[in-house]
Amino acid sequence: MRFRDRRDAGRALAAALGHWRGLPGLQVLALPRGGVPVAAEVAKALDAPLDVLVVRKVGWPAQPEVALAAIASGGAMVRNPGVIATAGIEEDELAALAAAEQRELARRERAYRGGRAPLDVAGRPVLVVDDGLATGATMAVALSALRALGAGQLGVAVPVGAPEAVARCETLADEVACLATPRDFSAVGAYYDSFPQVADDEVRHLLDR
């Protein structure tokens, strides 16, 4: 399965999520930046409010696209032990890398959410949307943070994901909707015809709209 772009993927994903429509208090949350255009289409189809949960990957310096861990607003961090062991990263080095990402996380929180009130998901059904799952570390930390905030029914919705990452999320969420789980998964962008970086201005535009 391939998608023209993130909005096309969002529309395809929304078609598989009709049973979420009408749930009292439903909140759609996007993982910025790439998840926002996908989630905007989902939120529109489900007639639900859209917001973001800021999460940052802590990348392996030798291969930045590979996640050692991920962090979320509020201080939650989920480690990827296999990658950490393979990379030979010590705890103090991981802490320094995480601190650098924490600064960027705080900047994005201010840039995207502005003066909005803190997320209030206590007891509410929450659907977390991204443009794909590679290792699942970023989504895992998001789910951990939302559990800590007292979210009710917790779902994950992505257009494409590595089978191992989807299985990881299935242990953390009440439901995972993933349209494609290719066994030879390479990278999220490989399943999109157009996969440009999403700019901060686009994130703000979609949230304001």
Helix (H) or strand (E) run with residue 82 in it: helix 81-87
Cβ neighbours, 10 Å, residue 12: 17
Report d(CA 175, CA 122) in Å as an integer.
18
Q: What is the DSSP letter of 90?
A: -
124-136 pLDDT, tens per residue? Answer: 999 999 999 998 9
Domain ranges of the chain: 6-55+119-208, 57-111
Burial class (CB in 10 A: 0-12, 13-18, 19+), 7: middle
Give the residue-averaged pLDDT of 108-129: 88
Q: What is the pLDDT of residue 115?
A: 75
Can you read off the two tokens belonging to residue 40? Answer: 């905007």
Q: Report the percent of the chain where pLDDT is more than 90.
A: 73
Q: Which pLDDT does position 167 carry in this prediction?
A: 97
The pLDDT tens digits for 140-185 are 889 988 998 899 999 999 999 999 999 999 999 999 999 999 999 9
The answer to whether residues 139 and 128 touch, using CB atoms and an 8 Å cutoff, is yes
- Architecture per CATH, 6-55+119-208: 3-Layer(aba) Sandwich (3.40)
Question: Over 90: is that where the pLDDT of 74 sits?
Answer: no
Q: Could you tell me how many residues make up the chain? A: 209
- Rounded to whole angstroms, the Cα distance separating 10 from 40 reads 7
pLDDT digits (tens, 9 = 90+) for 20-51: 999 999 999 999 899 999 999 999 999 999 99
Rounded to two decimals, the pTM is 0.84
CA distance linking residue 167 with residue 148, whole number of Å: 21
Tens digits of residue pLDDT in 53-65: 988 889 999 988 8
Q: How far is CA 126 from the centre of its chain?
A: 12
